[in-house]
Chain A
Amino acid sequence: MKEYKVFLREDEIPKQWYNIQADLPSPLQPIIHPGTGQPIGPQDLAPVFPMNIIEQEVSQQRWIDIPEGVMEKYLLWRPTPLHRAYALEKALGTPARIYYKNEGVSPPGSHKPNTAVAQAYYNKVFGIKRMTTETGAGQWGSALSFACCLFGLECKVYMVRISYDQKPYRRIMMNTWGATCVPSPSKDTNAGRKTLEQNPDHPGSLGLAISEAVEDAVTSKDTRYSLGSVLNHVLMHQTIIGLEAKKQLEKFGEKKVDVVTACAGGGSNFGGIALPFVLDKINGANITIVPAEPTSCPTMTRAPFVYDHGDTAGIIPWAPMHSLGHTFVPPPIHAGGLRYHGIAPILSQLIIEGLIEPRAYNQLECYAAAVQWARIEGAIPAPETSHAICTVIEEAKKAKEEGKEKVILLNWSGHGLMDLGGYDSYFSGKLIDYPLPEEEMKKSLKAIEGFPKPKMMKKGKPV
């Protein structure tokens, strides 16, 4: 009988996260403070993050123990299953063997609690009693609400008002886990009040929600802010995905992986599955590692490497990242999770080093792939996950043309059951494709003219 999925026993779950900072051929560039123009120190981040997380952010230690307190919570849904996509292989007529790591089985339905739980734990240990964050449609907000609930922390989520009004289900999830979710702009912060004074019916924006969450964290007692992507420690917490997958592939009898792929917005789910395999590649393995992104928001496939703000409001110190400029607002696409305007600095460095090879797909192609997946493999993927499904299909067809038995690994980062409106728009023909024109790209990049440029390093040498 064929094995369709492999589970690890709970005592087989990896006990450490992998920190790729220890193995990068070139070290990451320092983060520059926007006020001083100087590299930041731990105290600059202390108003928004607890010191134990800041230590992880800058750590060069290769393996970091997963605390028992985090592991206990991980075991609520981890280890997640690794599936073999036999039906898709058959439908494509490919000799490739396709595997997918199902992160949609977590309580909030995505990979995001892998770091939300860790961040909540470290805040709790540090003595923090309350956490804040922002959310658009609610995926990250619900993950942090879940995590704070597990550790008895208060959680305040600033949800962009128009989504708050239109998308009640994620908000109800947050409430169910005990979080306070308020529409942004709110009356709870200076930034929100000022906006409401000018326009009581303001529908909100993600930049304003970030401003409120950070202001709340900085000005409230025993409170810190949480970010669900981009930062080094966030990617490290997610490596549990790839480390589990390695063990599960061995149980499937696989000795080698040819392609690893995931979608990449801020980079956390891609980093989660890919970084343990990047280590293999650094050590000589021949693996094609593909972060997939939308053609309409090309942070990796077209943008240059510059310093940029990590948030649209410009509060968090600058970090070097592949960027379209902090003022960039992507054109309309379906995948809310891929909206971040800058990829994680670690992934930027891996692109420069040639260790990962980003690809871009248009939204109609992605929805077609998502629907094909749902009709063959059953589960409905999150819209952003569909970008990586495009890579899988592309590579599986290539294997067929070449007659090669490739092994393809996908991070199936979350289900799409909270985003059926996007599918509805696709079926009703409301979606359009919009690759970013060169002229528009140039206009956007004008926003960052005059910003300091980081040194580009490859294998430890300036390029």
Chain B
Amino acid sequence: MEEYDELIIRCPQLGGEVPFRYCRTLNEDLPCRKIIICWEFRIEISKFLSEHYSFDQIQRALAPPSKTRIETILELIEKAKKIKEEG
């Protein structure tokens, strides 16, 4: 799993260099959704994914976030408001 961890790439989201370790753990310990597009010219990324993750994990990691996640975050904000009001 750690074989590529020290390789470095420029992450456009952050504006700086990150190790492969970041890309494979960014998404709640699953790979970043763009890990294939970023790394396919550097390593055998598809092989890496299939060797270390289940099909479901790969699907979950590479799929766009659902509205449910957004709604969850909105709910967290509403909860925080209520906590403050109840203070």
Q: Chain A interface (Cβ within 8 Å of chain B)?
A: 34-35, 136-137, 139, 160, 162-163, 166-167, 189-191, 194, 198-199, 202-203, 205-206, 211, 214-215, 218-219, 296-297, 309, 313-315, 325, 327, 329-339, 419, 421-422, 425, 430-432, 434, 436, 440, 444, 446-447
Q: Chain B interface (Cβ within 8 Å of chain A)?
A: 8-18, 22, 25-26, 28-29, 32-34, 37-38, 41-42, 64-65, 67, 69-70, 73-74, 76-77, 79-81, 83-84
Bound Cα distance from A444 to B70, whole angstroms: 17
Q: Are B37 and A205 in contact (CB-based, < 8 A)?
A: no
CB-CB under 8 A from A136, the residues of chain B are 13-16
Q: Are A315 and B74 in contact (CB-based, < 8 A)?
A: yes
Residue of A nearest to B81 (CB): A219
- A331 in contact with B12 given A190-B76, A218-B81, A434-B41 (CB within 8 Å): yes
Bound Cα distance from A5 to B20, whole angstroms: 45
Minimum CB–CB distance for A452 against chain B, Å: 13
CB-CB under 8 A from A335, the residues of chain B are 12, 15
9 A-B residue contacts at CB 8 Å?
A136-B15, A137-B15, A162-B18, A163-B15, A199-B25, A206-B14, A315-B70, A334-B12, A422-B10
Q: Are B79 and A432 in contact (CB-based, < 8 A)?
A: no
Minimum CB–CB distance for B36 against chain A, Å: 9
Q: Are A162 and B22 in contact (CB-based, < 8 A)?
A: yes
- A194 in contact with B76 given A327-B65, A434-B41 (CB within 8 Å): yes
Bound Cα distance from A199 to B69, whole angstroms: 18
A167, A296, A309, A440: the one within 8 Å of B16 (CB): A167
- A329 in contact with B25 given A218-B81, A447-B64 (CB within 8 Å): no
Bound Cα distance from A440 to B22, whole angstroms: 22
CB-CB under 8 A from B83, the residues of chain A are 219
CB-CB under 8 A from B8, the residues of chain A are 425, 430
Q: Are A215 and B77 in contact (CB-based, < 8 A)?
A: yes
- A198 in contact with B64 given A139-B15, A190-B79, A432-B41 (CB within 8 Å): no
CB-CB under 8 A from B70, the residues of chain A are 34, 309, 313-315
Residue from A136, A309, A332, A447 with most neighbouring chain B CB atoms (10 Å): A332
B12, B42, B64, B80: the one within 8 Å of A218 (CB): B80
Chain A binding surface, main DSSP class: loop
CB-CB under 8 A from A329, the residues of chain B are 12-13, 32-34
CB-CB under 8 A from B26, the residues of chain A are 203, 205
CB-CB under 8 A from B22, the residues of chain A are 162, 203
Q: Are A440 and B41 in contact (CB-based, < 8 A)?
A: no
B16, B25, B73: the one within 8 Å of A191 (CB): B73
Residue of A nearest to B36 (CB): A440
CB-CB under 8 A from B18, the residues of chain A are 162, 166, 203
Residue of B nearest to A214 (CB): B77
Minimum CB–CB distance for B72 against chain A, Å: 9
Q: Sort A-B residue pairs by CB-CB distance and give the 7 closest, nearest first.
A: A336-B15, A314-B70, A327-B64, A137-B15, A447-B64, A219-B80, A329-B34
Residue from B28, B32, B77, B80 with most neighbouring chain A CB atoms (10 Å): B77
Bound Cα distance from A296 to B74, whole angstroms: 31
CB-CB under 8 A from A431, the residues of chain B are 10
Q: Are A334 and B25 in contact (CB-based, < 8 A)?
A: no
Q: Are A332 and B64 in contact (CB-based, < 8 A)?
A: no
Bound Cα distance from A331 to B11, whole angstroms: 8
Minimum CB–CB distance for B62 against chain A, Å: 9
CB-CB under 8 A from B74, the residues of chain A are 35, 314-315
Minimum CB–CB distance for A392 against chain B, Å: 23
Bound Cα distance from A336 to B14, whole angstroms: 6
Bound Cα distance from A419 to B16, whole angstroms: 8
CB-CB under 8 A from A447, the residues of chain B are 64
